[in-house]
Structure 1
Amino acid sequence: MERKEDRRIERTKETLRTTFKQLVLQQGYSKVKVKDIVEVANYNRTTFYVHYDGKEELAKEIIQLEMQRFLFEFCKPVRDNPVLDLRVMKPDGTDVFHYIKENRSYYDLLVIDDAVPGMQTALLDELKDIFHNRMYFLGEKASEINAPYFIHYRAYGIYGFILEWIRAGYDASPSEMARRIINLLHYQSSLMTQI
């Protein structure tokens, strides 16, 4: 019985999360109220408050869940290859841009004027963390390439690529975006490994 209830709770929370994202995209974060969320989701306020203290907690959960998923997708290539050679990596070897496009209900929120507080910095911070704690460049200049200022350079560069791609309506294919990122990373070193 507990499993059925757990699935029902998760289904309710997913409906609230989806509704919240839709409303923020339409109206902007500051205009969305709990009453709007429950009305569109066809729940009552009591149901909402069983799961969340307010829209801020809902937003925080959405960001945390998405950053976990982004991390999983972004790090797939180095998980599958103990030493990843960017010179031979094919753009189809990474799914992160397919993932972003498929989950545009979240990523479109990054470029709206009245964005969810913390959503933009969460992605940038996740990219910094990836290059600080999960991926390491190999080679004779490894200590310099893996230094904090290079980590920030890479994180901001990839973050900028993603934002501009979203702003342009995902005009380049996910494979083309992957090719561009591989080239950006390859200029620093061709070999990477997972920490």
Structure 2
Amino acid sequence: MVTKDLGMDRRVRRTKRLLKYALITLMNEKSYEQITVTDIVEHADYNRATFYRHYNQKADLIKEIITDQTNGLIQAFKVPYKKNNYIHLNALAPSEIVIFNYIIENKYFYALWREFEAIPGFYETFLQSITRFFKQDINLITPYHDGLDNNMYTSFYAYGILGIILDWIKNDFEQSPDYMAKQLCKIINYYPAESFITGNT
């Protein structure tokens, strides 16, 4: 019974992966609004019944894609913290920052950023998820300024780092991931703060 369930889980994951890949591929050819469920299933070589077994509508599929990528970005940000037992933010070395490598590895998604921005609610959902992670799971300690609002300081870091990432994406990944990691380290050290990931993660 367990083996059967595992096989079913694998089939579900494979089906969803192919449906997501189909939608992303189609977005290279036409706008999200122009893409139909029929387009998606034909590209993935499935039928409509298979699609509706997993999603109620096209919007549910795109939402899951966005959630996958948001979670992946957060996990990539956590990598150096986990590797170094949650050391301080400004103690990270450029070689330990993998978030830019993650984006390049998932370039098929991020290269379509402008197309995704045209989807109602995408930008807000993506940014809210990332900033929520910073505010809830990253605790910045600011010993340099008594009375400084930690929530505001965290927002400053969150939007600043996100701004760097989004600017890089919108400039078609002009610089290498290594260059971006080095620049991020320089910027973080220019505005020193200590930080750690809380137990909420």
Name the structure 2 match of 1:118.
121
Distance 1:76 1:60, change over 3 A: same
Q: Is this contact kept in 2: 1:73–1:99, CA < 8 A?
A: yes
Give the superposition deviation at 1:114: 6.0
Name the structure 1 match of 2:29.
26
> Which amino acid in 1 is paired with 2:42?
E
Of the structure 1 ranges 63-72 and 135-144, higher mean CA displacement relative to structure 2 is found in 135-144
Q: Is this contact kept in 2: 1:110–1:119, CA < 8 A?
A: no
Quote the Cα distance in structure 2 between the aligned partners of 1:144 and 1:165: 34
**Partner residue of 1:181 out of 180, 184, 195:** 184
User: Alignment partner of 2:28: what SS?
Assistant: helix
Name the structure 1 match of 2:80.
77
Give the superposition deviation at 1:174: 0.8
Q: Let me know the Cα RMSD of the aligned residues.
A: 2.2
**Is 1:165–2:168 an aligned residue pair?**
yes
Alignment of 1:151-162 (within 5 A): 151-162=154-165
Give the superposition deviation at 1:17: 0.6
User: Alignment partner of 1:125: what SS?
Assistant: helix
Percent sequence identity over aligned pairs: 31
Quote the Cα distance in structure 1 between the aligned partners of 2:86 and 2:71: 23
Give the superposition deviation at 1:88: 4.6
Give the superposition deviation at 1:80: 2.6
Name the structure 2 match of 1:66.
69
Quote the Cα distance in structure 2 between the aligned partners of 1:55 and 1:172: 34
Q: Is this contact kept in 1: 2:22–2:43, CA < 8 A?
A: yes
Q: Is this contact kept in 1: 2:70–2:130, CA < 8 A?
A: no
> Which amino acid in 2 is paired with 1:183?
K
Alignment of 1:50-65 (within 5 A): 50-65=53-68
Superimposed CA distance per residue, residues 98-126 of structure 1 (whole angstroms, 9 cap, x where no aligned partner): 00111012212322376333332233223
Name the structure 2 match of 1:9.
12
TM-score normalised by length of structure 1: 0.87
Quote the Cα distance in structure 2 between the aligned partners of 1:143 and 1:79: 29
